Amino acid sequence: MIPVLRPLEWGLLGLSGGLGLLMAVILSSLGDAPQWLPAPQPSSASTASAKVLSAPDASLDSLAGTWQAPLFSPDRSPDRSPDRAVGQTQVSSLSSLVLTGIVLDGDLRVALLKPADGPALKVHQGQTLPNGWHLEQLTPREARFALDGRTQILSLKALRLPPPSTTPPITLPHEPTP
C-alpha cells in the first residue's frame, strides 16, 4: 500500500518534474536559433570621413628635443648639450677612459665613454675625440680607436657574480633537526 504524501513531498515532486521538463527542453535544442537584427546600411558620411592613418616619419634631428628638454620633472635639466656630444673635456689618453656602452642601430653607431673626471662622452663611429683618437670600428662588445698608426681597443666590462660563500649556513642553537 502506498502511503499518503505530505504537502512538502508533493512540492518537491512537482519541482523535480519541472526541472526534468526544463532539462528536456534544453537538450532538445528548442529555441537555439538566434534572432539577429538586420544589418545596418552603410551611410555615405561615415565612409567619407574614414581615413587610414599612418605613423609620422621621425628623423633623429626632429627628436632632439626629447633628450634636451625636461620630460616629467620641471627641475630636471638636460644631460648634456648637443655641441658637447664629444665633450669639451680634454682627455689626455685612452687609459683614463672607460667604455660604458655601445649603441648599434642601423646606421647609428655610438660609443659611450666615461672619463675618470668630467662628464660622459658620446662618440659616433668615424668621429675624433678632442685628444686626437679616432673611433674606427664598433662591435657589440668593443670600440677600436686609432691615432698615428696605433690602435687601442676598449672593451665593455663583463660584470660577474661573486663566488659562492664558504660560510656554513646558520643553525639554531638547542634545536633538534627534523
105 in a domain, yes or no? yes
pLDDT at 89: 40
pLDDT in tens, 64-78: 766 666 566 655 555
Domain assignment present for residue 41? The answer is: no
The DSSP line for the chain is -PPPPPHHHHHHHHHHHHHHHHHHHHHTTTT-S--PPPPPPPPHHHHHH-----PPP--TTTTTHHHHS-SS-TT---S--GGGTT-SS----GGGEEEEEEEEETTEEEEEEEESSS--EEEETT-B-TTS-EEEEE-SSEEEEEETTEEEEEE-----PPPPP-SPPP--TT----
Judge whether 173 lies within some domain. Answer: no
What's the domain range around 116?
83-155
Q: Of 101 and 53, which is predicted with more confidence?
A: 101
The answer to whether residue 19 sits within a structural domain is: no
Query: Is 71 a domain residue?
Result: no
* Domain assignment present for 170: no
Instruction: Output the average pLDDT for the chain.
Output: 79
Give me the CATH number covering residue 104. Answer: 2.30.30.830
Residue 12 forms part of a structural domain: no
The number of domains in the chain is 1
pTM for the full predicted model: 0.40
Query: What digits encode the pLDDT tens for the residues 1-40?
Result: 567 888 899 999 999 999 999 998 888 877 677 788 888 8
Q: What is the pLDDT of residues 118-172, one digit of tens each?
A: 888 899 999 988 888 999 999 999 999 998 888 899 998 877 788 888 888 887 7
Whether 53 shows a pLDDT value over 60: the answer reads: yes
How sure is the predictor about 79, in pLDDT bands with cuts at 50, 70 and 90?
low
pLDDT over threshold 60, residue 60: yes
95: in domain: yes
